[in-house]
Amino acid sequence: MCHASPRFCIALSTALSPWQLCQHQQRLSEGGGETIYEIGMERGLSEEQLAGCLATLQRIGAETECVATEIHRTPGTEGVVMHVLVRSETHPDRPPLELRVAVCGNVDSGKSTLVSCLTRGIQDNGRGSARQAVFRHAHEISTGRTSSVSTQIMGFNATGDAVTSGAVRQFVWSDVVEGSSKVISFIDLGGHEKYLKTTMFGLTGHVPHYVMLSIGSNMGLVGMTKEHLGIALALHLPVYVVITKVDMCPENILEQTITRLTKVLKHPAVKKIPFFIKTDDDVVKCARSFPNGRIVPIFQVSSVTGHNYPALRNFLNLLPVRDNLERDSSAPMEMHIDDIFSVPGVGTVVAGNMLGGMAEAGGNYLIGPNCFGEWEEVGIKSIHNNRTPVKQVVAGQNASFGLKKVKRAQVRKGMVVVAKELQPAACWEFDAEVLVLYHSTTIQVGYEAVVHCHAVRQSARILSMDTETLRTRDRALVRFRFMFRPEYMRTEAKLMFREGKTKGTGIVKTIHYLSKEATGDLKSKGS
């Protein structure tokens, strides 16, 4: 997000200059195709000056295929301060800006209903009618509980208006994508304790930019709520809170929930600043400062009455991009597989997030590693992005590849599709700097835990540590070894490990790749 000084704003009201166009292009590039100008800063400008600045921004937008839209006004010390959203126009050859939001919270806190009401633009009937649209399995519909990772999208056009279908069953993703300049992907995760491994896989494998923590106002911070909050904070993901069901909750219970939430966020181990959203001015302020992770915006909504949903949609519309590096299309192509399908008439389809480079339909790449640590050449015959057929996808986007002559049994979650020039290699062992978030006793050499790193999810054993034992809040350099099969790992990648209530986080530092001789030995033993 960027700002414009009063001097720059007054200059905007005159003639266009190459410097203004260059600054504008730079801000758009940093924001992934959008930016927000604060015209007037704290002092403010007169109505005539504001009109001139807005007109100049609109002329600059016309030069750069963007739309400038006034989103909010607030009084200044000497005039009026205006916020203007500048976003790239919807274009068939230009993919929309994509943001991923993981939806976490305890079971029965209203996560699926919240996602359905946001994406469909509808209201619930108080008995769970809205959530039926986002469930993937029959048992989820019968129980009302999410047990898998479900993805839903919500679009915004160049002027910031929500692009929704308005129908529950006839929701067409391609229509939303075609009419949107910005797409929010909601990753709906299970809230029950027995689905914790699936929830952790969604938080690591789907690489979300933000986390939306759903809390039932009548339930408070119970069950897995604090568990999910702790995982999100350990992964350094900015979190905002949505308190649901405020229409049915007594005031004293709602007050207890808010008090408890505020206490948890201000705890020395969390060190967050709760910010309750009440006005449009609060929405703009939070959207500008939220990515640094210091504040936690809190919304109080009702899916039955629609209370505070406009503020939540406006907040999602203004959410900025957190990481510019992931959109580097010049890096070698790399896609981590987090889902697999077998589509009649198409064959095997793999889905995941593009972490680098660009993939094109008709290109040849490498897929692996298999159980022997080997890589195989594979052709991509078709590509879909948000269920819409495209010719290519770039880093930062979600993609589905239709693979040529690959059987479903040959592919598993955790494998990757990479460019040949990357020359990938599998590993059994890697070193990581870890922090133990919680453990009841001590961790020693030989300890086994499930490691989550991007789409990789496998048990690993500790081979060595630079200290004798590890306890809660201890840090160490640890060498892990996978127990069942080699995996593809990246240096500086974030990981989490868990075993029961034990949790730890870390960063991959060194990878010990498999040699060709070791790969041959594995294959001979397997045969």
d(CA 394, CA 329): 6
Torsion on CA atoms 327, 330, 334, 338, rounded to nearest 10: 20
Pair (144, 174) in one structural domain = yes
DSSP result, 111-171: HHHHHHHHHH-----SSSTGGGGT--SHHHHHH----S-EEEEEEE-TTS-EE----SS--
Percent of the chain whose pLDDT exceeds 90:
58
Same domain, yes or no, for 451 and 395?
A: no
Q: Are residues 343 and 280 in the same domain?
A: no
Strands (DSSP E) along 290-397, which ranges?
295-300, 334-343, 347-356, 358-360, 364-368, 376-385, 388-390, 392-394
- pLDDT, tens only, 415-442: 999 999 999 999 999 999 999 999 999 9
Q: How many CB atoms lie within 10 A of CB 485?
A: 16
Q: Torsion angle, CA of 133/134/137/139, rounded to 10 degrees? A: -80
Residues 269 and 190 in one domain: yes
**Ramachandran category for residue 492: left, alpha or beta (phi over 0 → left; psi -120 to 50 → alpha):** left
Is the domain of 156 the same as that of 13? Answer: no
Which of 516 and 62 is assigned the larger pLDDT?
Answer: 62
349 has a pLDDT exceeding 80:
yes
The answer to whether 241 touches 111, Cβ cutoff 8 Å, is no
pLDDT, tens only, 3-50: 443 334 434 444 566 777 787 788 887 788 888 888 887 788 888 888
Decide if pLDDT at 117 tops 70: yes
pLDDT for position 525 = 63
For the segment 315-341, what is each residue's pLDDT rounded down to a tens digit? Answer: 999 998 876 444 566 789 999 999 999
Low-confidence winner among 131-145, 170-184, 213-227 (lowest mean pLDDT) = 131-145
Q: Which of 55-59, 179-183, 308-312 has the lowest mean pLDDT?
A: 55-59
Range of 287's domain?
97-322
Distance CA 425, CA 516 (A): 9
Domain-terminating residue out of 56, 88, 120: 88
Per-residue pLDDT, 166: 47
Q: For the residues 444-450, what does the mean pLDDT come to? A: 96
Mean pLDDT, rounded, of the chain: 87
CATH number, residue 303: 3.40.50.300
The amino acid at residue 293 is G
97 secondary structure, DSSP code: E
Q: What are phi and psi of 20, to 5 degrees?
A: -65, -45
Are 375 and 488 in contact by the 8 Å Cβ rule? The answer is no
Specify the higher pLDDT residue, 326 or 495. Answer: 495
pLDDT for 165 equals 54
235 and 111 together in one domain: yes
The predicted pLDDT at position 326 comes to 45
Count up the domains in the chain and report the number. 4
Let me know whether 255 and 376 are in one domain: no
How much is the average pLDDT of 353-369?
Answer: 94
Q: What is the pLDDT of residue 52?
A: 87
In a domain, 496, yes or no: yes
A 10 A CB-CB count for 39 gives 28
| Confidence check: pLDDT of 144 > 80 | no
Nearest in space to 338 (alpha carbons), one of 355, 362, 356, 321: 355
Of 65, 88, 111, which residue constitutes the final position of a domain?
Answer: 88
CA distance 19 to 4: 14
Give the pLDDT of residue 516.
59
Residues listed for the chain = 527
Indicate whether 409 belongs to any domain.
Answer: yes
CA 434 – CA 427 distance, rounded (Å): 19
Q: Which residues contact residue 517 at a Cβ distance below 8 angstroms, ignoring those fewer than 6 apart?
A: none
pLDDT of residue 154: 92
- Domain match, 416 and 521 both: no
Please tell me the least confidently modeled range out of 129-133, 203-207, 468-472. 129-133
User: How many whole angstroms separate alpha carbon 263 and alpha carbon 72?
Assistant: 32
pLDDT at 307: 94
Average pLDDT over residues 139-168: 79
- Residue 275 and residue 355: Cα distance in Å, rounded? 32
Question: End of a domain among 266, 295, 322?
Answer: 322
pLDDT mean over 133-138: 76
Could you tell me if residue 1 is inside a domain? no
Q: Which of 93-97, 188-192, 333-337 shows the lowest per-residue confidence on average (mean pLDDT)?
A: 93-97
CATH no. for residue 467? 2.40.30.10
Distance separating alpha carbons of residues 203 and 454, to the nearest angstrom: 8
- Out of 27-36, 240-249, 375-384, 473-482, which region has the weakest mean confidence (pLDDT)? 27-36
CB 388 within 8 A of CB 298: no
Would 243 be classed as within a structural domain? yes
Give dist(CA 462, CA 443) in Å, integer: 9
| Same domain, residue pair 514 and 477 | yes
Contacts of 31 (CB under 8 A, 6+ apart): 1, 2, 320, 321
506 beta partners: 434, 495
Which of 8-17, 186-195, 317-326, 491-500 is predicted least confidently?
8-17
288: pLDDT strictly greater than 90: no
Q: Both 211 and 308 in a single domain?
A: yes
Q: Residue 431 corresponds to which tokens in the numbers above?
A: 């070193």
Number of C-alpha atoms within 13 angstroms, CB side, residue 49? Answer: 17
CA distance 114 to 154: 12
Q: How many CB atoms lie within 10 A of CB 9?
A: 26
State residue 14's pLDDT score. Answer: 46
Q: How far is residue 423's CA from residue 123's CA, in Å, rounded to a whole number?
A: 50
- What is d(CA 263, CA 255) in angstroms, rounded to the nearest whole number? 12
**Residue 145 vs residue 347, higher pLDDT:** 347
Residue 198 lies in a domain: yes
Give yes or no for a contact between 316 and 184, defined as CB atoms under 8 angstroms apart.
yes
Percentage above 70 pLDDT, the chain: 92
Cα distance between residue 400 and residue 389, in whole Å:
9
Shared domain check, 466 and 354: no
Q: Are residues 379 and 473 in the same domain?
A: no
